[in-house]
C-alpha cells in the first residue's frame, strides 16, 4: 500500500477528490490552531473490497506519545482511529491501484512552543518511515518556550 501524507490548514473530501488549503507546511505557530492531515491511499487491486484499519497518533521528537485530558478527566493519547474500504469500479482494468482520499481534521492542540513533533500513520497494524509527518512549533517570542495554556483538547 502506498500513502501520500501532507500537513495542511484544512482538508476535505468531496466527490472522491481531496481538497487541500494551506498545504505543505512543517512549522506551525506557538498559538494553538486547527489543522488537518491529508492522505491519499493507493490500495493495491488485490486489497480492494476489504476493510482496512487506520490509526494516526502524535509523538514528541523522543518518540513519547502526546496525551491530553478527555471530557471525563482521563489522560488519553492524542490519536485518530478509523477504517476504509474501496471497491473495484466496473470497467477498471484488473491490477489498477485504487485511490482513497482521506482528510483528518485536527482541533487546536496546546503544543510546547519550540517543540518538535510527528504524526505517525499505521494502516492494518503496519507503519513505514515515510508515513510520518514531522513538524516543529515555533518558539513563543513573548513567553519563552513554556507550554501553551489551553483548557481541554
Average pLDDT, the chain: 91
The mean per-residue pLDDT over the stretch 53-60 comes to 97
Q: Report the Cα–Cα distance between both ends of the chain, in Å, rounded.
A: 32
Nearest to 6 by CA among 47, 36, 43: 36
The mean per-residue pLDDT over the stretch 127-133 comes to 95
Output the nine-digit C-alpha cell for 90: 466496473
User: In the predicted model, is pLDDT for residue 29 greater than 80?
Assistant: yes
What's the pLDDT band for 142 if we cut at 50, 70, 90?
A: low
The mean per-residue pLDDT over the stretch 1-24 comes to 96
User: In the predicted model, is pLDDT for residue 146 greater than 90?
Assistant: no
Task: Return the DSSP state at 107.
Answer: -
Query: What is the reported pTM?
Result: 0.85
Q: What's the topology of domain 2-137?
A: Immunoglobulin-like (2.60.40)
Amino acid at each position: 500500500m502506498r500513502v501520500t501524507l501532507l500537513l495542511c490548514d484544512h482538508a476535505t473530501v468531496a466527490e472522491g477528490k481531496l481538497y487541500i488549503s494551506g498545504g505543505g507546511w512543517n512549522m506551525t505557530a506557538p498559538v494553538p490552531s486547527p489543522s488537518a492531515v491529508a492522505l491519499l491511499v493507493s490500495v493495491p487491486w488485490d486489497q480492494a473490497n476489504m476493510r482496512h484499519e487506520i490509526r494516526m497518533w502524535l509523538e514528541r521528537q523522543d518518540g513519547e506519545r502526546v496525551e491530553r485530558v478527555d471530557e471525563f478527566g482521563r489522560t488519553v493519547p492524542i490519536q485518530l482511529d478509523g477504517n476504509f474500504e474501496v471497491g473495484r469500479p466496473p470497467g477498471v482494468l484488473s491490477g489498477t491501484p485504487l485511490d482513497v482520499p482521506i482528510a483528518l481534521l485536527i482541533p487546536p492542540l496546546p503544543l510546547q512552543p519550540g517543540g518538535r513533533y510527528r504524526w505517525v500513520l499505521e494502516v492494518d497494524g503496519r507503519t513505514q518511515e515515510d508515513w510520518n509527518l514531522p513538524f516543529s512549533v515555533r518558539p513563543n517570542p513573548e513567553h519563552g518556550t513554556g507550554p501553551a495554556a489551553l483548557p481541554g483538547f
